[in-house]
A and B are shown apart, each in its own frame.
Chain A
Amino acid sequence: MYKAKVNVTLRPSILDPKGKAAHHALQNLGLNDVQQVRIGKFIELDVNADSKDAATKIVESACAQLLANEVMEDYEISFED
Chain B
Amino acid sequence: MATFGVIVFPGSNCDHDAYHAMKHIMNSNVKFLWHKDTDLSGIDFLIVPGGFSYGDYLRSGAIARFSPIMQEVVKFAEKGGPVLGICNGFQILLEAGLIPGAMMHNQDLRFVCKNVFIRCETTDSLFTNTLTKGQVFDIPVSHGEGNYHINESGLKSLQDKDQILFRYSDADGNLTEESNFNGSIDHIAGITNDGRNVLGMMPHPERAMEKLLGSDDGKIIFDSILNSLSVA
Contact = CB atoms under 8 A, between A and B. Distances in A.
Interface stretch (B16-24, B104-112, B123-131): B104-112
Contact of B62 (A14, A15, A66): A66
A69 interface: yes
Contacts of B100: 71
Given A66-B58, A66-B62, A66-B66, A71 B106 contact: no
B101 interface: yes
B109 A14 contact: no
Interface band, chain A:
10 to 19
Contacts of B101: 71
B105 A69 contact: no
B100 to A, nearest CB: 8
Contacts of A66: 58, 62-63, 66
A32 B66 CA distance: 44
A72 B109 contact: no
Nearest to B106: A17
Interface string B144-161: 000001110000000000
Contacts of B150: 71
B170 interface: no
A55 B107 CA distance: 37
Contacts of B217: none
Contacts of B95: 69
B6 interface: no
A69 B102 CA distance: 8
A71 B149 contact: yes
Nearest to A69: B102
A18 B105 contact: yes
Interface string A1-28: 0000000000000110110010000000
A67 interface: yes
Interface in A31-49: none
Nearest to A67: B58
B59 interface: yes
* Shortest 10 CB-CB contacts between residues of A and residues of B: A71-B102, A72-B102, A17-B109, A69-B102, A17-B105, A72-B149, A17-B107, A69-B59, A21-B109, A72-B104
Interface of B: 58-59, 62-63, 66, 95, 100-102, 104-109, 149-151, 183
21 contacts: A14-B104, A14-B149, A15-B107, A15-B183, A17-B105, A17-B106, A17-B109, A18-B105, A18-B109, A21-B109, A66-B62, A66-B63, A67-B58, A69-B59, A69-B95, A69-B102, A71-B101, A71-B149, A71-B150, A72-B104, A72-B149
